[in-house]
Amino acid sequence: MPYEPPTHTVERSLRATTGAKIIAGVDEVGRGAWAGPVTVCAAVTGLRRPPEGLTDSKLLTVKRRTALAAELEKWVTSYALGHASSEEIDDLGMTAALRLAAVRALEALPVRPDAVILDGKHDYLGAPWRVRTVIKGDRSCVAVAAASVIAKVQRDKMMAELGIDHADFGFAANAGYPSPVHKAALEERGPTPYHRLSWAYLDALPQWRHLKKVRSWADGSVPEIEGQLGFDF
Backbone angles phi, psi at 79, to 5 degrees: -155, 160
- What does the alpha-carbon distance between residue 116 and residue 171 come to, in Å, rounded to a whole number? 31
Side-chain-facing half-sphere of 159: CA atoms under 13 Å? 28
91 has binding-site annotation: no
**Is 156 marked within a binding site?**
no
The dihedrals phi and psi of 84, each to the nearest 5 degrees, come to -120, 125
Residue 114 labelled as part of a binding site: no
Pick out the residues of the known binding site for a divalent metal cation: 27-28, 119
Pick out the residues of the known binding site: 27-28, 119
